[in-house]
């Protein structure tokens, strides 16, 4: 049995569901960039067909290769990719743009050129964080008013559990699908100070879209004082339901339950 909601992800949606299309209608130039070629699994094709991203993929020629994916294709250095984007933005005639960036360095199976063994996750994660930190420094220096949203696709299943060994993601368990997302603003007249604001209620793409809506007019970048509580309060909540073609995992009375292949609900072993 194929789960109905999962298959609907791959069907056309209402026009208001396409975030980047809606931003384009508001005057934002659409950009698409990746640190890989997007060919494996038809990923680039899916982004175009299911995400409505029709803009040309940013030029990748001459980018240094940092890793090789499990299919042997290059994963480019993310700082080089981001710096190329920033250089392009500074030449852009339209000062408003919306960019979708998909990056692969933390995916399972990536290895360093000339080495067949999967590269250590901690090394790859530290490199990515260092590159993002360096890019954020340059972005702040540029003076551009930018909202950066980082959303992981899924966890890496670095630790196994009683249902799945390390690295296995056949069942979308909470430890795999409950991931931290982040939003950071640059070029603000009154930047946020102190500890980051934590949004702890169950949240998903609707909350992120709402944050984009609240920031899209750009006024918070030039205000003398930003009401951060108002900006981050009363965001849409999404009940935690994780689903793929064969399994559904939900939270019920604070505990995870799983249904496999349309069978009965059973507690997910803790």
Tens digit of pLDDT for each residue in 86-137? Answer: 999 988 877 899 999 999 999 999 999 999 999 999 999 999 999 999 999 9
Range of the domain at 126: 4-240
Asked if pLDDT for residue 65 goes beyond 50, the answer is: yes
Q: Indicate whether 265 belongs to any domain.
A: no
- Per the structure, the count of domains in the chain is 1
If pLDDT is split at 50, 70 and 90, which confidence band does 180 have? very high
Q: Indicate whether 261 belongs to any domain.
A: no
Q: What is the pLDDT of residue 133?
A: 98
Range 63-68 contact pairs with CB under 8 angstroms and sequence separation of 24 or more: 63/35, 65/113, 66/35, 66/105, 66/127, 67/104, 67/105, 67/110, 67/111, 67/112, 67/113, 67/119, 67/124, 68/110, 68/111, 68/112, 68/113
Q: What is the pLDDT of residue 8?
A: 75
Q: Indicate whether 171 belongs to any domain.
A: yes
CATH number of 164's domain: 3.40.720
126-178, pLDDT tens digit by residue?
A: 999 999 999 999 999 999 999 999 999 999 899 999 999 998 999 999 999 99
Q: Indicate whether 268 belongs to any domain.
A: no
Q: What is the pLDDT of residue 12?
A: 81
Q: Indicate whether 247 belongs to any domain.
A: no
């Amino acid at each position: 049995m194929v789960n109905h909601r999962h298959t609907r992800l791959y069907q056309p949606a209402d026009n208001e569901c396409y975030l980047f299309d809606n931003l384009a209608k508001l005057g934002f130039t659409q950009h698409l960039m990746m640190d890989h070629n997007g060919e494996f699994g038809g990923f680039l094709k899916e982004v175009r067909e299911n995400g409505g991203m029709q803009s040309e993929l940013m030029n990748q020629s001459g980018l240094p290769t940092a890793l090789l994916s499990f299919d042997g294709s290059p994963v480019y250095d993310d700082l080089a990719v981001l710096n190329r984007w920033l250089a392009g933005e500074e030449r852009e005639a339209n000062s408003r743009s919306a960019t979708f960036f998909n990056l692969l360095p933390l995916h399972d199976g990536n290895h360093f050129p000339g080495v067949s063994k999967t590269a250590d996750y901690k090394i790859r994660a530290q490199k990515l964080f260092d590159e993002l930190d360096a890019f954020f420094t340059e972005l702040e220096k540029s003076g551009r008013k930018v909202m950066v949203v980082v959303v992981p696709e899924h966890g890496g299943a670095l630790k196994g559990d009683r249902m799945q060994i390390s690295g296995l993601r056949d069942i979308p368990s909470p430890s795999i699908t409950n991931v931290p997302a982040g939003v950071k603003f640059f070029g603000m007249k009154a930047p946020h100070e102190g500890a980051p604001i934590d949004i702890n209620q169950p949240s998903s793409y609707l909350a992120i879209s709402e944050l984009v809506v609240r920031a899209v007019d750009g006024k918070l970048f030039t205000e003398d004082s930003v009401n951060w509580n108002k900006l981050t309060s009363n965001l849409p909540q999404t009940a935690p339901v994780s689903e793929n073609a064969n399994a559904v995992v939900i939270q019920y009375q604070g505990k995870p339950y799983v249904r496999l292949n349309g069978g009965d609900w059973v507690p997910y072993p803790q």
